[in-house]
Amino acid sequence: MIVRAVSTGSVGYIGVLATIVCTVIDLRVRPHLQWVIQPIGRALAAVGVTPQLLTFIGLLVTVGGGVMIGFGMLAAGAAVALVGSVLDGLDGSVARAAGTDSPRGALLDAVSDRVGEVACFAGLAVAMAGSWRVLLLIVLSLGGSMLVPYLRAKAEAAGLDGRGGLMGRAERVILFTFGLMIAQVEPMLWVMVVATWSTVGWRFFETYRQLTP
């Protein structure tokens, strides 16, 4: 098992690419993506597919990808996990199309997302068990990835906008899977740590600033 060493060039390349991807998702893709997702959601709802079924299938596929990663099939496992994340991302559009979106569905989706992320990072930790540095980066990446949606949930519970920062779930999925597919695990993790914890800091201070003393 080979753990690739960090090089300034690799980290810089992935860092620039991650920044571009996040910027494109935030400013260009998200406002227009509904034109693609909504018709798919309506079509799936029309044939009787439920959002809960999509969430469950997406989670199973994502966990399967995490298991493959744990067995050392990094690129293939990342591709499978990406497919699972895409399937899971369609549940909201199906729920809206069917008129069945609910707080229970939102809770199920949020928990499924977190379990999928834990499965993928756990698989990577098993695959990279020979390097303490990579394991530390995995722990820090996973911790940041859990805090980002937690802070959004706390902000929204207080009636505030909890979004912001570079690393939402879509960005984390893209960065994680891309890093594994091109065999740049450690550089990807360095970028993940910096970007996720920057997002944690951003969301914390923005929420704290808006809260009533």
Kindly report the length of the chain: 213
Please, are residues 81 and 110 in contact by the beta-carbon 8 Å criterion? no
Residue 106 has which token pair? 């939102």
Residue 120 has which token pair? 């993928």
Please name the residues in contact with 201: beta carbons below 8 A apart, sequence gap of 6 or more.
none
Residue 94 has which token pair? 């199906």
CA distances from 86 to 28, 72, 117 (A): 18, 22, 13
Write the DSSP symbol of residue 26: I
Please name the residues in contact with 154: beta carbons below 8 A apart, sequence gap of 6 or more.
162, 207
Q: Would you call 88 a catalytic residue per the annotation?
A: no
CA distances from 193 to 4, 136, 137 (A): 17, 10, 7
Residue 97 has which token pair? 């199309």
Distance from C-alpha of 98 to C-alpha of 104, rounded to nearest angstrom: 15
Exactly one of 88, 101, 113, 161 is catalytic; which is it?
A: 113
- Which residues are known catalytic residues? 113
